[in-house]
A = this chain, B = another copy of it.
Amino acid sequence: MSVRRESNTEVRGASARARGLTHRHPSEVPLQDALDAVADPVRRTILRELAGQPDWTRACGTFDLPVSKATRSHHFAVLRAAGLIEQRDEGPRRFNRLRRAEFDQVFPGLLALVLAERA
């Protein structure tokens, strides 16, 4: 019998993993960081795939990317730091959401260029 066992779904309070998740609102992101984030082709692929489906339906591992697991994780961290995506843990998986409106308000047109890219 453990003390203070809340629930296995972690409804209340962040899990140990989620606590390490540092998000950044687009309004706190320098243009330099936004451009750097968007200048990488792998990251643009992530953004486009993410835009093609509803929020919170894509875990990090479900993206079709030509890189290793470690590199993939790195790219998601960059996108998070650039205010381009939001992440939420659900069990062992980490689901993603494109911060479309927020990002577009700070950097109007930039995300649209990425999503319109035929690649």
Q: List the interface of chain A (C-beta within 8 A of B).
A: 31-32, 35-36, 38-39, 41, 107-110, 112-114, 117
Contact = CB atoms under 8 A, between A and B. Distances in A.
Contacts of A38: 35
13 contacts: A31-B113, A31-B114, A32-B39, A35-B35, A35-B39, A36-B39, A39-B39, A107-B113, A108-B113, A109-B109, A109-B110, A109-B112, A110-B110
B31 A117 contact: yes
A60 to B, nearest CB: 23
Total copies of this chain within the assembly: 2
Nearest to A36: B39
A99 to B, nearest CB: 17
A37 to B, nearest CB: 10
